[in-house]
């Protein structure tokens, strides 16, 4: 008796790439994924205050991020192509900048979710404008290992993030509020990488839409002088290697990076990996 074909497994990206203006586009750059990704965004009308020109407060971001995660449990499978099965047993939460802090908040339980996360990745996370002005909720305690996280964590920082981009605005990833503090408060297994020659916004597209997008991307932060593609490829490689090691027990690529950081597309400094003892 013939058996039916098993459902295919597919990598799925849930959150749309951040952009101040709504648009859809394809990419053929060298930093594109090796195979197509399925990208899903909520279409049910709701409150998106930032898209209407208003800032979204951190507690609201955490709450909405938790709701999107909960949507996966029932809303994802009906939208997938035939013979593609949603596998939520290895769910990763990640974010950049303030979104990096939001990812930490969700993983720490500030948003109650039905699903369990298997790993956390913070990409140049920022908790506030200075160590005296942390945004809510206040999750940084200044105590090593204080985060109650039962999952592997990777924190990727930018070397130029703590530097001012201009004389009128503070650093985009100031000391005391950046990746160093987040990593310090993580428990093993955890990893920290610093992309030395690039800044807080250098993982964005080469060109961002709109006047505001250009100002945020090119003027607000200290940027590196090299091609942004190198920054994107480096971050992408670090994330994939870390997750393959921690979730699939495929350590070859991650061990290679730890053994020789020069294989990365651009310079990595202060690499630290603390395994579970």
For residue 155, whether the previous peptide bond is cis, meaning omega lies within 30 degrees of 0, is no
Q: Are 211 and 196 in contact (CB under 8 A)?
A: no
Options 200, 202, 205, 217, the catalytic residue: 200
What span, in angstroms and rounded, lies between the C-alpha atoms of 2 and 24? Answer: 42
- Residue 97 annotated in active site: yes
Q: 229 an active-site residue?
A: no
Which residue reads 């964005």 in tokens? Answer: 204
Report the C-alpha gap between 30 and 228 in whole angstroms. Answer: 11
Whether 206 is a known active-site residue: answer no
> Exposure string (b/e) for 87-115, b if CB count within 10 Å is 16 or more?
eeeebbbbbbbbbbbbbbbbbeebbebee
Q: Which one of 97, 135, 158, 217 is the catalytic residue?
A: 97
Cα–Cα distance for residue pair 88/110, rounded to 1 Å? 20
Residues 6+ positions from 197 with CB-CB distance below 8 Å: 159, 160, 224, 225, 226, 266, 267
Edge-to-edge, what's the strand order for the sheet holding 92-96?
A: 92-96, 119-123, 153-158, 190-195, 268-274
Q: Of these residues, 31, 94, 96, 124, which one is catalytic?
A: 124
Pairing of strands 133-134, 128-130: antiparallel
Instruction: Provide the 3-class DSSP secondary structure of residue 123.
Output: strand
SS3 103: helix
The residues assigned a catalytic role are 97, 124, 200
């Amino acid at each position: 008796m013939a058996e039916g074909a098993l459902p295919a497994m597919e990598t799925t990206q849930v959150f749309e790439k951040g952009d101040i203006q709504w648009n859809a586009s394809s990419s053929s750059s060298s930093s594109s994924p090796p195979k197509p990704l399925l990208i899903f965004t909520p279409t049910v009308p709701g409150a998106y205050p930032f898209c209407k020109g208003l800032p979204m407060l951190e507690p609201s971001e955490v709450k909405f991020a938790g709701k999107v995660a909960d949507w996966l449990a029932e809303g994802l499978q009906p939208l997938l192509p035939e013979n593609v099965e949603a596998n939520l047993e290895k769910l990763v939460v990640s974010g950049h900048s303030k979104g990096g802090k939001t990812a930490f908040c969700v993983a720490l339980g500030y948003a109650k979710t039905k699903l369990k996360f298997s790993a956390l990745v913070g990409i140049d996370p920022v908790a506030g404008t200075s160590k005296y002005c942390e945004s809510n909720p206040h999750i940084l305690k200044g105590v090593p290992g204080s985060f109650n996280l039962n999952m592997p964590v990777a924190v990727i920082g930018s070397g130029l993030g703590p530097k001012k981009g201009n004389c009128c605005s503070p650093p985009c990833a100031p000391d005391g509020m950046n990746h160093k503090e987040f990593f310090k408060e993580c428990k093993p297994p955890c990893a920290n990488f610093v992309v030395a020659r690039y800044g807080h916004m250098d993982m964005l597209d080469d060109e961002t839409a709109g006047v505001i997008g250009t100002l945020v991307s090119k003027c607000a932060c200290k940027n590196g002088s090299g091609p942004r593609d190198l920054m994107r490829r480096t971050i992408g490689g670090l994330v994939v290697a870390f997750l393959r090691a921690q979730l699939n027990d495929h350590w070859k690529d991650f061990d290679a990076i730890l053994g020789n950081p020069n294989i990365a597309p651009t310079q990595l400094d202060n690499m630290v990996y603390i395994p579970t003892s």
